[in-house]
Amino acid sequence: MAPDAVELRTVGRRVPQLEGADKVTGRAVYTPDVVLEGMAHGAILRSPHAHAEIRAIDTAAARAFPGVLAIITGRDLPGIPYVHISKFSDRFPLAREKVRFFGEEVAAVAAETRAIAEEACRLIKVDYRPLPAVHEPEDALAPGAPEVNRAPADTGERNVALKFSRDFGDVAKGFAEAALVVEGDYRNGVVSPVAMETNGTVARWEGGRLTLWTATQAPFYIRKEVAHVLRLEPACVHIKPVAVGGGFGGKAKICEQEALAAALAIAAERPVRLVLTRYEDLVAGKTDHGKAMRVRTAVDAEGNILARSSSLLIDNGAYTAFGPVYVAAARQRTCNLYRVAAAHYDCRLAFTNKVPGGAYRGMGAPQIIWAIEDQVDEIAERLGIDPIDYRIKIANRPGDVTPLGWEITSCALAECLEVVRERLGWTEKRANPVPWRGVGVASMIHPSAGVLYEEGNYANVGVELTAEGRVRLATMTADAGTWQNTMLAQLCGEAMGLDPTLFEVIHMDTEASPVDLGSAASRVTYVTGNAAADAGRRLVAAIGAALGARYGLGSVAAVIMDCKVHLTGLNRPPLDLAEVFQAVGPLRVIGSFSTPATRPDPETGYGNYAAAYCFGAQGAEVEIDPVTGKVRVLKLVAAQDVGRAINPTAIEGQIQGGVVQGIGMALSEEMVFEEGRPVTTSYLDYKVPRFDDLPDIEVVTVDSIDAIGPFGAKAAGEPSINATVAAIANAVANAIGVRMRELPMTPERILAAIKARDGTPDIATRPFTRRKNFRVAAVRSLYPSLVFPALRTFGPRLAGPETAPVARAPHSYPRSVAEALAHLAEDPAGSKIRAGGTDLSVGIKQGIYSPAAIVDISRIASLAGIAATADTLTLGAGARLADVARHPDVPRLAPMVVEAIGQLATPQIRNMATVGGDLCQQKRCWFFRSALPCYKLKGATCPCFAVLGDSRNHAILSTERCNAPCPADLAPVFAALGATAVIASPAGERRVPMDGFYRWSGEPDIAPGEILTAIEIPVRRPTTATAFEKFALSKGYFGVASVAVSLDLAEGVMRRVRVAMGSVSPFPERARGAEELLEGARPTPALIAEAARATVTGALPLKPAAYKTGVLVGLTERALARATG
Amino acid sequence: MAMQRAEAAHPVLYPSMDPITVNGTAYTPAVPAETPLIDFIRDTLGLKGTKLGCGNGECGACTVLLDGRAVCACILTVGAAAGGAVTTIEGLGGESGGLHRIQAAFLEVGALQCGFCTSGMIMATAALLDDNPSPDRRAIREGLNGNICRCTGYTKIVEAVEHAARGA
């Protein structure tokens, strides 16, 4: 019987996630939830340098700190590097002679509390000698580059960890005979998995045995590596089951905290919890690899691909973790999708002073397929073929052998493309283009389980009959949220004829389960899943054998139906599983599976890699905002050949999740570095997709019933990301006629592409109409050679001693403004006011605030009031944003305030943050927020890092020493409304118009000891029209640019025109030139356009922020049109 | 002993802190008023269902209700919550210990994978539906925009919220 004709009872059902009830009730226990008797808390001291020699480490002061239990440095460990891939083993759990990236682990502390451990880390004195660092792979290969890490002897090149070059087939002939060659250079930066649960471990050392609870995908690797670096017997290391909050590759092998938690537990003789903060996870968690790719594709006149050549330069980071595997995976990605006759691949893996690259979903496929599919689209266009027709023509088909020797068996790629064509509305949308909209399509291929480590190609699963009549399934691989446990129960249950709800699945446990490599490389469904099915069959056979023996009948065949065991051919009543257990006692069997495919040649990479391959196609429809450059995905259809859907709910969720990670990779996710230090260290700056950025993701699974996969299934979860970037990029190309060559396709890159396409000149800003810009321009011209080096070198030393961060400043809770003023008067300069706390709490952790005392004004009822008179609306400074927006009077009297609050922060933050807090929050500059020693943080002797760094978010108007813009959305709104700030001081109350509320530098003009108490807004007149326009990368994020307009329109004439700009200047600057043009005039499109252009008169943007001039002009036009429309 | 010494280094206790009601029980916190609310919930009360995702109020994993409104327990202090009523995921359950309709909807629709964001997501949904009992998809996406999920791509969560709203 053909496998697809078998009647399935369990496979194919939407079985709820086995752990789902625990997760929706909060009962599931994750690593940070593990509490052990006597548990201590760990913290890690990390390198503040991208590259430095460690001359000495002095831990004396830290050891003497009360509550410290143990401190370890590199010298306290056995001096054994991680195995990773043994030839490339180059990293110790703690740095020894050198640190090679910002955030590298230098020492670890165990203490009674996390706060004490962190404080002790600060007390450890490390004597560093900074060394020249290399941040980009191209620079690492340049002559004379500093050596980041020792290259293996066989590469013969400085900073090259691995190089590879080979032809598969006759590549030269392919290019020689080509009718058409397309080529391009493609580039992607560093992206990060950022699972919602950060990496973390709880370790216990007891009686010579180490027990770990750890957020990992692969306990197998944790046991192996921890035992290795701590010189323990692997059998003495026990990984326990725990819920794991996402992995995506970031937890695919050892991270660093496992070994450190273990070493601390041994040193402290106490259990230790070591859970990384989000900052640490973003700074030191392994990332995907940055790449530069040169790709060429040769086709004949019909479009048959004769050859492809791919040259890659891959960023390895400072140590080798996954790099060599990535080089091999990248090779596969370049030439196996579609029918390609011959392929060349060469690659260099370069060391840089960055966090080591790791594994991330797709292992390079999303970006490499982006390059390939960009060229496939270009070929289709140049040959005049419909892109989907062309893809179907060149699609892989069963029986194909690819240039790398992959033998294609089950394959439904052409079917997936047809599904996308129909569901996306492709034909109609391509035929009827809408301006600024586009549709694009892309395909993917992925090995269904293929691992370069031999252990990845087999699996064992244990199953056991329990006294309660259930089946306990034990697997060493971890379910990090993929529903693997549910699917393994379904597969085993299908093999047994048993309902999956009768299963208990124990994952991860290295003692309860037989060996399995773990959840990585798309192997669990296929390899472990087959082992689970095998285990089920064996358990049924074992039941039959045991019952037969029990009844003296010899071995008999058992069949399970309706949860009962029937013995074939015997006239005995069926037994339930509990009765079986009573009759025969415990039964435990191990099922196993070994992938039948031959292995590729390890040197060349040639050979069939996996027993099956997955395929899929995705189609995207996008819309681009020509003013802001923002790409919005309107529709996304993913059709995927999954072999057979074991659990449609699980697979749809996996595919939807992979697609959304792909959308992030395509449009917004990117690590930004300054001096090798990541400055994108929060979710505000490292921008993962949110609800409001996205459409519903439409998923169609296509069955191809694989002959070897369990019940016909293939891998499905990981590869769903593979085609997304390419589909979106092709849709963008369809919309704007430009092929983007750098990821992510951020707004400023899109705007630059449109500008280059049209040859649009820069907007004339006439910067020197502002006289101080002469000085600013002169200083900037000297910045690279003189100003920056001098200030960077000497500034921090001259700035005085480091201010010690205050772990916990004393708080006071006054009940009245007078009481608050009295508290402030005790230490005016050292005190900070806390209202909603949404900025202060964060800023203290970031090291930008170090108050000696905090005056919490949240309990002063008078500050939270909202009141209106005939002509004034008064918002208390302590009024929460949500309360302002909901207040019955505010929409009527000052609708623009409500409009702005709707675009400000998240619902949770609006419930906490206050009006005064919005106005008084610190700047959001990512250099400042990373506590780089900058002018704003450290004072006049220090430089502004934006001048030479990535200043895409910075101000374009009125900057001097600091280039950070005003982040407060309400500031331009209040300025446009002509509002007045009320400030209480010991001498009495004073009123300041919003125009004068900020100093030139953007600091509120509030003296130490004073409190902002209210904002008074003139109420809207019947003729008043207002509009607020803001552009942010995501709804509620801090603005890229905003503009608030208020004017009176009576008898067709504009009066009392106020235009105030946000996020483009250190303060909410009024656009006086625009106001003058509009005042007393009748609104016409031409006048509005002219006035909008006048907003940027005098702008002197840093180059990366120059796109903001166009954004500001466009937003102003929109706001004026809306207000006068 | 060491712990007592450590606490002694930060002796600032809010002298007359109002009690905090958590899931219906009033507590007079014996912790410094500036303690993050999440530490009080997780470490003092041992309610581990509330998760710490970022510590900066950016991801929503720690969302709890304070007097019915969704807030981030990671940046709210005990002092700021004093006098208020906090509801955590443990306090959401339906009648007689069963699942709340939102919890049931998430489970039934399959709107969860790793589960780490789920508590916060469900609490944010509770606040959303309290405010707007039958939100459309646009309103759901806006209302939950303070919560990040890295696993699901959000589509099934939107479906689950619709499902829960219909089941009201």
Contact A908 B60 (CB under 8 A): yes
- The answer, yes or no, to whether residue A1 has pLDDT greater than 50, is no
Identify the H or E element spanning A549.
Answer: helix A529-550
Contact B34 A483 (CB under 8 A): no
Amino acid at B68: G
Report residue A30's pLDDT band, with 50, 70 and 90 as the boundaries: very high
What residues of chain A lie within 8 A of the CB of B75, using their CB? Answer: 837-838, 841-842, 912
CB A43 within 8 A of CB A112: no
For tokens 């409190």, name the residue: A1011
Closest CA of chain B from A313, distance in Å: 29
Closest CA of chain B from A627, distance in Å: 23
pLDDT digits (tens, 9 = 90+) for A453-507: 778 889 999 999 999 999 999 999 999 999 999 999 999 999 999 999 999 999 9
Contact A909 B57 (CB under 8 A): yes
Contact B117 A112 (CB under 8 A): no
Closest CA of chain B from A906, distance in Å: 5
Contact B148 A690 (CB under 8 A): yes
Nearest by CB to A906, which of B47, B60, B141?
A: B60
The torsion defined by the Cα of A424, A429, A431 and A432, in degrees rounded to 10, comes to 170
Q: How many contacts, defined by CB atoms under 8 Å, are there between A and B?
A: 272
- Check residue B94 and give its pLDDT: 65
- The answer, yes or no, to whether residue A1048 has pLDDT greater than 50, is yes
- Check residue A2 and give its pLDDT: 43
Torsion sign, CA atoms A262, A263, A269, A270: negative
CA separation for the pair A763, A778 (Å, rounded): 21
Amino acid at A1100: L
- A186 pairs with which residues across the strands? A293
Name every residue whose Cβ is closer than 8 Å to that of residue A239 and which is 6 or more positions away in sequence.
A212, A213, A214, A216, A219, A222, A223, A508, A509, A510
Rounded (10°) angle between helices B118-131 and B155-166: 50
What residues of chain A lie within 8 A of the CB of B5, using their CB? Answer: 66-67
- Extract the tokens encoding B17: 């802190």
For tokens 């480590």, name the residue: A453
What residues of chain B lie within 8 A of the CB of A691, using their CB? Answer: 140-142, 144-145, 147, 154, 157-158
Residue of B nearest to A248 (CA): B151
CA separation for the pair A461, A591 (Å, rounded): 5
Contact B70 A696 (CB under 8 A): no
Report residue A75's pLDDT band, with 50, 70 and 90 as the boundaries: very high
Q: What is the DSSP letter of A1122?
A: H
Closest CA of chain B from A982, distance in Å: 24
Closest CA of chain B from A10, distance in Å: 17
What residues of chain A lie within 8 A of the CB of B108, using their CB? Answer: 16
Closest CA of chain A from B146, distance in Å: 5
Q: Does A646 touch chain B (CB under 8 A)?
A: no
Closest CA of chain B from A462, distance in Å: 23
- Check residue B30 and give its pLDDT: 84
One digit per residue, the tens of pLDDT, for chain B of length 168 reads 333 333 333 334 455 678 999 999 999 888 888 899 999 999 999 999 999 999 999 999 999 999 999 999 999 999 889 999 999 999 997 667 789 999 999 999 999 999 999 999 999 999 999 999 999 999 999 999 999 999 999 999 999 999 999 986
Torsion sign, CA atoms B113, B114, B118, B120: negative
CA separation for the pair A880, A1042 (Å, rounded): 22
Which residues, numbered 64 to 83 in chain B, qualify as contacts with chain A under a Cβ-Cβ cut-off of 8 Å? 66, 69-72, 74-77, 79-80
CA separation for the pair A470, A304 (Å, rounded): 56
- Kindly report the number of other CB atoms within 10 A of residue A1010's CB atom: 20
Nearest by CB to A26, which of B33, B90, B114?
A: B90
Amino acid at A129: R
As a whole number of Å, the end-to-end CA separation of chain A is 71
Q: Please give the angle made by the CA atoms of A1014, A1015 and A1021, to the nearest 5 degrees.
A: 145
Averaged pLDDT of chain A: 96
Q: What is the DSSP string of A642-686?
A: EES-S-HHHHHHHHHHHHHHHHHHHHT----EETTEES--STTTS
Q: Does A692 touch chain B (CB under 8 A)?
A: yes
CA separation for the pair A449, A613 (Å, rounded): 8
Name every residue whose Cβ is closer than 8 Å to that of residue B70 and which is 6 or more positions away in sequence.
A907, A908, A911, B60, B63, B64, B123, B124, B126, B127, B128, B146
Contact A692 B115 (CB under 8 A): no
Q: What is the CA radius of gyration of chain B?
A: 17
Report residue A244's pLDDT band, with 50, 70 and 90 as the boundaries: very high
Nearest by CB to B145, which of A482, A697, A1035?
A: A1035
Which residues, numbered 440 to 479 in chain A, qualify as contacts with chain B under a Cβ-Cβ cut-off of 8 Å? none
CA separation for the pair A210, A691 (Å, rounded): 42
Q: What is the DSSP string of A141-204?
A: HSTTPPP-SPPPGGG-STTEEEEEEEEES-HHHHHHT-SEEEEEEEEE-------SSPPEEEEE
Closest CA to A299 of A185, A218, A378: A378
The three state secondary structure string of A690-717 is: CHHHCCCEEEEEEECCCCCCHHHCCCCC
Q: Does B47 touch chain A (CB under 8 A)?
A: yes
Contact B57 A908 (CB under 8 A): yes
Q: Does A781 touch chain B (CB under 8 A)?
A: no
Do the bridges between strand A697-703 and strand A831-834 make them parallel or antiparallel, or are there none, so unpaired?
unpaired
Q: Does B53 touch chain A (CB under 8 A)?
A: yes
Name every residue whose Cβ is closer than 8 Å to that of residue A34 and which is 6 or more positions away in sequence.
A202, A213, A242, A273
Closest CA to A1060 of A994, A1114, A1106, A1105: A994
Contact A245 B69 (CB under 8 A): no
Q: What is the DSSP letter of A950?
A: -
pLDDT digits (tens, 9 = 90+) for A537-549: 999 999 999 999 9
Contact B3 A113 (CB under 8 A): yes
pTM above 0.90, yes or no: yes
Closest CA of chain A from B40, distance in Å: 14
CA separation for the pair A860, A858 (Å, rounded): 6
Q: Cα A853 to chain center, whole Å?
A: 35
* Burial of residue A978, with CB atoms counted within 10 A of its CB: 0-12 exposed, 13-18 middle, 19 or more buried: middle
- The answer, yes or no, to whether residue A765 has pLDDT greater than 50, is yes
- The answer, yes or no, to whether residue A45 has pLDDT greater than 80, is yes
Do the bridges between strand A209-214 and strand A237-240 make them parallel or antiparallel, or are there none, so unpaired?
parallel
Residue of A nearest to B117 (CA): A196
Strand, coil or helix: what is A246? coil
Residues in chain A: 1125
Contact B90 A845 (CB under 8 A): no
Q: What is the DSSP string of A817-833?
A: HHHHHHHHHHSTTTEEE
As a whole number of Å, the end-to-end CA separation of chain B is 52
What residues of chain B lie within 8 A of the CB of A845, using their CB? Answer: 55-56
Closest CA of chain B from A681, distance in Å: 10
**What is the CB-side half-sphere exposure of residue A143 using CA atoms within 13 A?**
0
Residue of A nearest to B109 (CA): A649
Give counts: helices (H), strands (E), chain A: 34, 41
CA separation for the pair A353, A132 (Å, rounded): 10
Strand segments (E) across A252-410: 272-275, 291-299, 305-317, 343-351
